[in-house]
Structure 1
Amino acid sequence: MTETRSMHVISFGYGHTGAVGEDGRTVLEPPQADLTLDLRRCLYNPHRDPAMRYLTGLDQAVYEHVMDTPGAQLLAHNTALSAHGLMDQARPSVLTVATGCTGGRHRAVAMAREVARLLTEFGKAARYEVTLRHRDVDRAVLPSARHTEQDGR
């Protein structure tokens, strides 16, 4: 019997910590993950561009803006490669990769998309399934002051 192995990729926003969850009761915290990327200081922030502020990393213009940050492609590749290596060597049945930014709408979503895309390619040969979830992509845009407090770019 073949075991089912899964790789979960989830994007989220650190700025929503303490907010009420989807069930109306849960207080949101960063998701439990085997690998977590804090992207608040290392990727271009589309929130700073008024034309992109209300878009998300699901929109191609935002995705490209984030992934055009020097080092972003390498970060995505190395993250996917690390997760793939853990899945291959440690052989857990489930492994979770989380990507977080301030609001969970731009950078985290774009990076999660790219990591999931790469893991899907790697997973074809390794026979694990990849799921992608964007926890906070539909939440309200956080105020710019919140981004200034937490962001380096």
Structure 2
Amino acid sequence: MSVTDIRLVSFGYLHGAPPAFATLVIDLRRHFRDPHVDPALRHMTALDVPVRRAVLNTSGIRELIGATALLAEAFDAGPAEAPLNIVIGCAGGRHRAPTVAMALAKRLGKAGITVHLGHRDLDKPVVERTAAGDAVATTRS
């Protein structure tokens, strides 16, 4: 095994660019529905069951998690030892990205890979957006 550890970090593009240490960046913004659009979920995070359920039941998400796990295992099988840093981003970093990161960490852990999971923006304020997706203000909740 060439990758002894994998670092997974979720983040929100509305709070800044992907972490510079990233080996792989997974951008969830345009391909998967944002739970933020549901007022009942907007102020929740991936730590809340309704958010995780909404994200994991989104068409294609489970396949993406499986494909990313296979990608991580392919890096692990490579001939050189090197850290693997996977960063997963969505708009605000509170719903999709942390849910996917948590599910991926669980899957890789079951495969015997040591995973270090972090969430850069999970605890940051909700970023309110216009219908076009532009950030307009932040609120605490």
Range of TM-score over shorter length: 0.7 to 0.9
* Distance apart, 1:149 and its partner CA: 3.9
User: For residues 33 and 145 of structure 1, do their structure 2 counterparts lie closer, same or farther at Cα, with a shift above 3 Å needed?
Assistant: same
1:18-37 paired onto structure 2 within 5 Å:
29-31=17-19, 32-37=21-26
Matches of 1:116 and 1:40, distance apart in 2: 20
What stretches of structure 1 of length at least 5 have no aligned partner?
18-28
TM-score (norm 1): 0.80
* Distance apart, 1:92 and its partner CA: 2.9
1:86 aligns with 2:85: no
Q: Please identify runs of 4+ aligned residues in structure 1 that moved more than 4 A.
A: none
Q: What is the match of residue 95 of structure 2?
A: 106
% identical aligned pairs:
38
What stretches of structure 2 of length at least 5 have no aligned partner?
136-141
Among 56, 63, 76, which residue is 1:74 paired with? Answer: 63
Q: Counterpart amino acid of 2:6? A: M
> Which protein has the bigger strand share?
2
User: For residues 129 and 140 of structure 1, do their structure 2 counterparts lie closer, same or farther at Cα, with a shift above 3 Å needed?
Assistant: same
* Distance apart, 1:4 and its partner CA: 8.0
> Which protein has the bigger helix share?
1
1:139 aligns with 2:124: yes
- 1:9-29 per-residue CA deviation (whole Å, 9 max, x = no partner) reads 100000011xxxxxxxxxxx3
1:35 touches 1:83 (CA, 8 Å); kept in 2? no
1:27-66 paired onto structure 2 within 5 Å:
29-31=17-19, 32-66=21-55
Tell which deviates more after alignment, 103-112 or 85-94. 85-94
Matches of 1:71 and 1:147, distance apart in 2: 23
TM-score (norm 2): 0.86
- 1:56-77 per-residue CA deviation (whole Å, 9 max, x = no partner) reads 1121110110111111100001
